[in-house]
Amino acid sequence: MMKLKLNAMFLLLGGLLFQAHAYGAAEKKQESLVQMITVNSFSQLQQAVLELKEESKQKNLSNTLIVMDDDDTLTMMECEDRSKPISCQFLGGPAWFSWQENLLKQYQSNHPVPQDLNLLQQLEAKNGKLTKQEKELKHELEKLAKESANTVKPPLVANNMGDLLDIAALLLAINNMPYTEEKEVPSVLKTLTKDQAKLLVLTARGTSNLSATESQFAALTATKADQKKGITAVSFQELIHNNALNGQKSGIASIAGPFAPCTQSTNARSVSYQEGVMYVAGQNKGEMLKCLLSKTDSGQIQNIFFIDDTLQNVVDVFSAFEGQDQYKVTAMHYTYLKKHKDAFMNEKALQDKANQRWEDVKASLASHLKNPTAISKVQ
């Protein structure tokens, strides 16, 4: 009898130990492969990549993808001294665009004419006609809307998002942009790609900015150290292209397009992937990255390092990959230019200078060109 009781106890203990082991294994398996951290330089990105390589005992970085934002992460508008915002051109950069976007929202909330006119137009389309009073109101609103469309008061550069995007595209097209960290960015990326890491630029820019982006990247060359040694300069565009993911069907670092992103949203905008750069048109970067991975020869990729100066983009990437077990993802919030951007958003003198730059550009184009793009609608 005692023997039976002991056997029962051993069986019970064994079952408990097995459950504990299984639970522990499950816990270990469920451990997140995604993390979110803050970095202040590209050298910290390099350090994180090399630490993971050592921990994983990898021979090289052929299974590692470095994903980078462009504006205010890789490149920025010209700035003579990063520590002195007054020496910098904010016009056309992300901080300037955010400032203008906020001004535009305020303007539209105080000028509801377009929204009211749109409602009347919808009502007319639904009923096939309007009452006499509604027709009179529509006529007045159309008149006000036309007047408003031709009146933009500084510091606002446009009174609708379409015009603001056109102006932003114009400014990107006529500006070269240096590296945010002139020495670190090209040096770090050259070192990582020499060890076979793959590169991807994931920019919020849209397809309409493709030519401007390629021109800016082509104007950026190798490190100054390489130039001093007499090493042939390789443009940043070539560096990205030579180390990019190839499309599954194309076999090159581009995908025929623009193409629809992998989303069920009816409001999705077309995206492009050209020369190792994905143009996501302001859409969720986490979802866009997953989409591109599904369309490229990314089977060897196990580790992804994402770096972006916009926290929301970092959160989006973290959220998109959280819970999956295919990739080890490190989403990095890049804060190198935080003080630089905060200064612009909070200092009227810097905003006034940016606005004066725009007025000068607009006046110059208007005086020398018959019908200049982007500005003809806001004279």
Domain boundaries, the chain: 31-76+180-336, 94-171+343-371
Q: Which residue matches tokens 């007499």?
A: 230
Task: Report the distance separating Cα 122 and Cα 105, nearest Å.
Answer: 23
For 99, 203, 247, 346, 376, the CA distances from 363, given in Å and listed in that order, are 22, 30, 44, 27, 11
Residues written for the chain:
379
For 48, 57, 307, the CA distances from 51, given in Å and listed in that order, are 5, 10, 17
From first to last of its 379 residues, what are the pLDDT tens digits of the chain? 444 444 544 444 455 444 545 444 444 445 689 999 999 999 999 999 999 999 999 999 999 999 999 999 999 999 988 888 899 999 999 999 999 999 988 887 777 656 676 677 777 877 888 888 888 877 777 776 666 655 667 799 988 888 899 999 999 999 999 999 999 999 999 999 999 999 999 999 999 999 999 999 999 986 655 655 656 668 999 999 999 999 999 999 999 989 999 987 788 999 999 999 999 999 999 999 999 999 999 999 999 999 999 999 999 999 999 999 999 999 999 999 999 999 999 999 999 999 999 999 999 999 999 888 877 555 4
pLDDT confidence of residue 13:
46
* Token pair for 215: 């021109």
Strands 271-274, 34-39: pairing is unpaired
pLDDT confidence of residue 306:
98
Task: Report the distance separating Cα 80 and Cα 88, nearest Å.
Answer: 6
Task: Report the distance separating Cα 315 and Cα 264, nearest Å.
Answer: 21
Rg (CA), the chain: 27
